[in-house]
Amino acid sequence: MDDRNKVDLTGQQLTVCPEWLEGQTALEELWLDDNQLSTLPRTIGQLTQLKNLSLYHNRLAALPASLWQLHGLQTLNVSANRLTILDDGIGQLTELQMLDLGHNELTRLPEAAGNLQKLRFLYLSHNHLTTLPASLRNLSQLIYLNITDNQLTAVSDWLGSLTNLIELRLYGNQLAQLPTTIGQLARLRELHLMDNQLVALPASIGNLGSLRKLDLQDNQLHSLPPSLGSLTDLTDLNLRNNQVTALPEAIVNLKKLRFLDLRANKLVALPVNLAELPHLEKLDLRWNRLAYQPEWLSQLVQRGCTVFI
C-alpha cells in the first residue's frame, strides 16, 4: 500500500478530527488510537476507500450513521471507548473481517450484526452483554470469538453453527451450562471457560476432536463426562477450583496431555492410569482431599514430570 493512502494520528491528544481529513478520499488506512475523541464528524462517511479504521482508546459514546457508508471496511477497531449502543447500520459493513467492540459499555448487539458474514475475528469482551442475537449463527467464517467478561447466563444452540471456530473465549460470565451443539465445533483448538458457574459439561464436548486447550478453572463442576477421553489431541486441561470428586477412567486416552491442573477440588483418590499419560509434564494436585499418595506418583517424578501435591 502506498504510504500516501495511510494516515496515523495515534497519541496526538486530539479532541476533534482534523478538518483536512475530509479531503483524503483516497485513504485506505486511518489510525486515530489513543486520543480524546468524543465524537466523529459526519464527513467520515466520505472516506469511502477506507479498508482499515482504528479508533482504539478514545471517548466515543456513539458512532455516526455516516460510518456505515464505508462499505469497503475490512477491519474496524472501536475498543476501549464508551459505546453504550450499536445500531443496525453496522450490518451494512459486509466486507468486515475483523471487528473489535471490546472494553465498552454495550448491553446488546443488533440483529444486523449477523449480516457480517465475512467476519473472521470478533471481539466483544468487557461489555455488559446479557444475551446475544441468534443472527450470529450466520457468521460461519468466524475463526476467533471472544465474549469474555460480560454477563451472559446462557449461550444458545446457534453456537454450533460456527463450525470454523478455532478459538472460543467465554470466560468471566455467568454460564451455568453449555449447549449440546458445542460438539459441532470440530475445528476448535482452544476453549476458555474459566470463571463461570458451570455445574456439568455436555457429553457432546467429546466431539471436539481438534481441541488442544480446555480451561475450566473457577467453575462448579462436580464430575466430568467419560466422553472427555475422546479429546485425544488435548495438551492442556485446567480444572482448578471446582468441586470434582473423581476423574473418569477414560482420562487415560488423553495421550498428548502435557499439563493437568487439578488444584482445589475434592478428589479423594486418583485413577491409576494417570501414570500412563506418556507426555505429562506437570500434574498439580494441591488442595484436594487425597486419602493417600499413590506410589505411581514417584514414577512420574522419576521420568521428569513435575508433580505438586
pLDDT attached to residue 178: 98
Q: Measured between alpha carbons, how far is 93 from 64 in angstroms, rounded to an integer?
A: 14
pLDDT attached to residue 172: 98
Is 28 within 8 Å of 52 (Cβ atoms)? yes
Q: Measured between alpha carbons, how far is 309 from 306 in angstroms, rounded to an integer?
A: 10
For the full predicted model, state whether its pTM sits above 0.75. yes
**Residue 115 CB partners (closer than 8 Å, separation 6+):** 91, 92, 94, 135, 138
* DSSP for 177-189, written as a single string: ---GGGGG-TT--
| ∠ CA 61-65-68, rounded to 5° | 110
257: amino acid identity, one letter = L
Domain assignments of the chain as residue spans, ordered by start: 3-308
Q: Name the grid cell of 140.
A: 460461519
Residue spans of beta strands (DSSP E) within 102-175 = 121-123, 144-146, 167-169
**Residue 2 CB partners (closer than 8 Å, separation 6+):** none
Q: Measured between alpha carbons, how far is 155 from 185 in angstroms, rounded to an integer?
A: 14
Is 142 within 8 Å of 159 (Cβ atoms)? no
Q: Name the grid cell of 206.
A: 467429546
pLDDT digits (tens, 9 = 90+) for 70-108: 999 999 999 999 999 999 999 999 999 999 999 999 999
Q: Name the grid cell of 91.
A: 450490518
Q: Does domain 3-308 have CATH number 3.80.10.10?
A: yes
pLDDT attached to residue 2: 58
User: Of 278, 273, 267, which Cα lies nearest the Cα of 303?
Assistant: 278
Those residues of the chain that have pLDDT short of 50 are 1
